[in-house]
Amino acid sequence: MASAEVATTATQRPSGEGTSGETTPARSHSPSRRRWRRTWAARALFLMLVPGAVYLLIYKYGPMYGVLIAFKDYSIRDGILGSPWADPWYGHFAEFITSPFFGSLMTNTVLISLYKLLWGTIPPILVALLFNECRQVWFRRIAQTVSYMPHFLSWVIIYGVAIALLSQGTGVFNGFLRDTFGFSIPFLTSNDWFRSVLVISDVWKDIGWGAIIYFAAMVGIDRSYYEAAMVDGAGRLRQIWHITLPGIRPVIILLLVLKLGGILDAGFDQVFIFYNVQVYPSGDIIDTWVYRAGLENLNYSLAAAVGLFKSVIGLVLIVVANRIAKRWNAQLW
């Protein structure tokens, strides 16, 4: 009787359920259809990419059409396509390289950039270490806010602060030197001090902003490393040296690689506002010279040639620095 019921149940079971030989084939979708479904599922993320993509197309890729100006004797009347080609095609590049100011311009630009690269890396790391060691959350938040607030100030405002502090006639600091020691220092008009003023003001402006990145990297380090170090008897300094700094090394190398690409960009906005004729020997950089020799004299071809020259040098430096960074697995690509 039981065997008959089992047989009846087996005969009533729908085909394709529970049998190994008769399974309902799963519906297959083409790769393009699956890709479209994944894209549609993430449509909100792609929508957020639209403003950034439009910005890149308009302000980064669109102006590349103007690179032709570097190889032409450009005139506003004829336009880019109507202007004749330079003879020889590298004429504007040669004009810049053979200029009597080329050596001093390159020296000033590279030195100011290297000083900013060095002092713009070490102080933010030290500030980030202080934030990481601070156990009072409310105090750390206040300190972070105060430290990165100058980043949002324009160079015009910072130059006003520099004049109020460092002006030889009315500056607070020079007033103290004059009243105490009987002399003053021309910080803003001396070739011996001008680069230092640029670097110090740049560090003061961006030290807190740069510390945010390093502090975020420190927060991401596994806390178990510190616990194991404390068990082994390591103090705070040893933990910083053997755990924290190695933990943020990829971030340090990555930022250095990115900054090396702008080694010929010493900060036009800052230098243009701070400098004057008296500090040309130590403060005149490539961009300020191009502004005077190229744009003020309407020599747009020279300005475009120098800009392309800087871009090519920056690209080469990034590629070389990235290959070096591969040794520490911190490369960009």
pLDDT in tens, 284-298: 999 999 998 888 888
Report, as an integer, the average pLDDT of 244-249. 93
Averaged pLDDT, 15-22: 46
**Mean pLDDT calculated for residue range 206-216:** 93
| Domains observed in the chain | 69-139+208-328 (1.10.3720.10)
Q: Are 106 and 286 within 8 A, CB to CB?
A: yes
User: In this structure, which amino acid lies at residue 9?
Assistant: T
Radius of gyration for the alpha carbons in the chain, expressed in angstroms and rounded: 31
What per-residue confidence (pLDDT) applies to 8? 46
What's the pLDDT score for residue 324? 86
Q: What pLDDT, on the 0 to 100 scale, is given for residue 27? A: 53
The torsion defined by the Cα of 39, 41, 47 and 52, in degrees rounded to 10, comes to -60
Tell me the two tokens of residue 184: 């003053």
pTM of the model: 0.81
Over residues 125-158, the pLDDT tens digits come to 999 999 999 889 899 999 999 999 999 999 999 9
Sort residue 298 into left (φ over 0), alpha (ψ -120 to 50) or beta. left
CB atoms within 10 A of CB 160: 13
For residue range 150-189, list pLDDT tens digits in order: 999 999 999 999 999 999 988 999 999 999 999 999 999 9
Residue 29: the pLDDT is: 64
Q: Mean pLDDT over residues 106-116, rounded?
A: 95
Please check whether residue 281 is in contact with residue 258, taking contact to mean a CB–CB distance below 8 angstroms: no
Q: What is the mean pLDDT of residues 263-271?
A: 92
- Per DSSP, helices labelled H in the chain are 2-12, 31-41, 43-56, 79-82, 91-97, 102-119, 122-133, 137-148, 155-166, 172-181, 194-219, 223-231, 236-239, 245-260, 268-274, 280-283, 286-290, 300-325
The CA distance from 194 to 211, in Å, is 25
Q: How many residues does the chain have?
A: 333
Note every long-range contact of 219-224, with CB atoms under 8 Å and residues 24 or more positions apart, other chains counting. 219/132, 220/247, 221/247, 221/248
Residue 224 in this model has a pLDDT that exceeds 50: yes
Amino acid at 101: F
Average pLDDT across the chain, whole number: 88
Of 38-42, 117-121, 181-185, 294-298, give the lowest mean pLDDT range.
294-298
Rounded to 10 degrees, what is the CA torsion of 302, 306, 311, 317? 160
Give the Å distances, CA to CA, from 208 to 92, 121, 241. Answer: 41, 11, 22
What does the pLDDT read at residue 313? 93
Collapsing DSSP to helix, strand or coil, 85 comes out as strand
Q: Which residue has the higher pLDDT, 81 or 331?
A: 81
The CA-CA-CA angle for residues 242, 244, 248, to 5°, reads: 115
